[in-house]
Amino acid sequence: MATRYSQPCVGPESAFTQGREMLAGIITADLPLVDAERLARVAIHESGHAVAALYFELPLLEVLIRDDGTGHARYGRRLGRAEAEGYAITGYAGGEAERDLFPFGECEDSGDLSGIAAMIRRLDLTWGEERLDELRRDARRLVKRERGPILSVAAALVQHRYLTAEAVAAVARLP
């Protein structure tokens, strides 16, 4: 699968450490612990989607955390067959980021899985479980490789609750 980036955008260890410290500083602010944990979890999850979307050059418009604590990544248009694999990996990347970077508690990715299933039906794709497992593994590899940018975007998302695609790219240091 062709992607824009073949290497991490920033040094993985330094970016990982910097992003983790930024996120830790923000979530220890004036929030009750449960709210801080929920906010951090949603920010990491949505940042996984956002960084993956830019990685696959999908038409990301924005990523946000709503007042009710749920998150959303919004695209500028309906994605087509040529973007299906990138979209599926991007859909899985939220849950994989949450599992990798916030490994305790339950991952809430049922909405993402429903979105992937709806895309498969809409495009009449014939992907079986084996192909979906492969795409999930691709998402897991992407998240591990891009931990630093994901954490940096998560920190900015916790702070601002809303980021445009351009802001995601700037924070993650993606072109």
Q: Where do the domains of the chain lie?
A: 12-172
Q: What is the pLDDT of residues 18-61, one digit of tens each?
A: 555 655 555 555 544 447 888 889 999 999 999 999 999 999 99
CA distance 91 to 78: 14
Q: Residue 70 corresponds to which tokens in the numbers above?
A: 């749920």
125 has a pLDDT exceeding 60: yes
- CATH fold group of domain 12-172: Methane Monooxygenase Hydroxylase; Chain G, domain 1 (1.20.58)
Q: How crowded is residue 34: how many other Cβ atoms within 10 Å of its Cβ?
A: 8
Helix axis angle, 129-145 relative to 33-55, nearest 10°? Answer: 110
The answer to whether 96 touches 143, Cβ cutoff 8 Å, is yes
Q: For residue 94, which of 149, 57, 157, 143 has the smallest C-alpha distance?
A: 143
| 15 against 142, higher pLDDT | 142
Query: What pLDDT is recorded for position 79?
Result: 87
Q: What is the pLDDT of residues 61-106, one digit of tens each?
A: 999 998 888 899 999 988 899 999 999 999 999 999 999 988 776 7
Please state the pTM of the whole predicted model: 0.81
The answer to whether 77 touches 123, Cβ cutoff 8 Å, is no
Rg of the chain, C-alpha, whole Å: 15
